[in-house]
Structure 1
Amino acid sequence: MVNRGHPPPLLLRDGTVRALAPTSPLPPLGLEEFVHGRPGWTDTYPFAPGDRLVLHTDGVIEARDGDHRFFDLPTAMAALRGHARQAFLDGLRQALLRHTQGALADDVAVVVDRTQDEAPH
C-alpha cells in the first residue's frame, strides 16, 4: 500500500475495524518538492478470508450531522459486517445519508474490496 494523502484504508476483520496507517506517509501527488528526501517503500498487510478493505475519501469521515458531529465510518462498517459486498456498500451509503440528512458538503468516494469468500457480481 502507498498512501498519497487520503485517509488510511480501514480493515474490517471479525467485527473489528482498524486503520491501516502508512509507516511512512507520502505527500499528495504533485507536492513531492516540499518534502526533503523521498521515501520509496510501501506497506504490506496480510489479509484473511472474510476480511473487508474499505478505501474512502475524507468527504466520508468529515461528513457532519446537524450537531456538527463527524460520521463514524468504523462503527457503520462494524454494524454491516455480515452483509455481502453490495449490501455492505449500500448500507454505508444509507448510513452516511441518514447522518447528514442527505446534505453532503464534500465529494464522497468509497471502494470496498471483494473478499475471498464472496462470489463476483
Structure 2
Amino acid sequence: MAETYCCVDSENGHHIDDPSEDALFDLIGELNDSDNTFIVIQPDEDDPAWFASVAVLDEGGYEIVRRDSTRREHEVDTDTSIGRIANDLIIWVAGRDFPGRPPRQTNTF
C-alpha cells in the first residue's frame, strides 16, 4: 500500500488522500455559502508544516490561502476560476516537502 503524502478535507466531511487536480476541481465546485464553505489541503501528519485552503467569499469567488512555515510563505489570493485554482494548487502542493519523500534536489548553474 502506497504512503499517503497529503489529503484534502472539506467542511461537509469529504476526505481524499493525495488528491488529483480533477478531485480538487470537483471539491471546489461543490463549495457553497451555507454548509460547505471551505476545503483544506495539508500533509497527512500531526502538526503539518504547510497547508492550503479555499473558501467561498460572500461577494462571489474564492479566497485561496497558502502557508508554509518552513519556507516562511503566507499568500492570500482571490479568484473566480475553479480550474485555475485547482491547477495552481496542484503545482504548489507538488513543490512542498512531504514526510518520507526524499527532499527535492535543486541545482544552481
TM-score computed with the length of structure 1 as normaliser: 0.30
TM-score by length of structure 2 reads: 0.32
* Bigger strand fraction: 2
By relative contact order (CA 8 Å, sep 6+), the higher-ranking structure is 1
Bigger Rg, structure 1 or 2: 1
Structure (1/2) with the larger helix percentage: 1
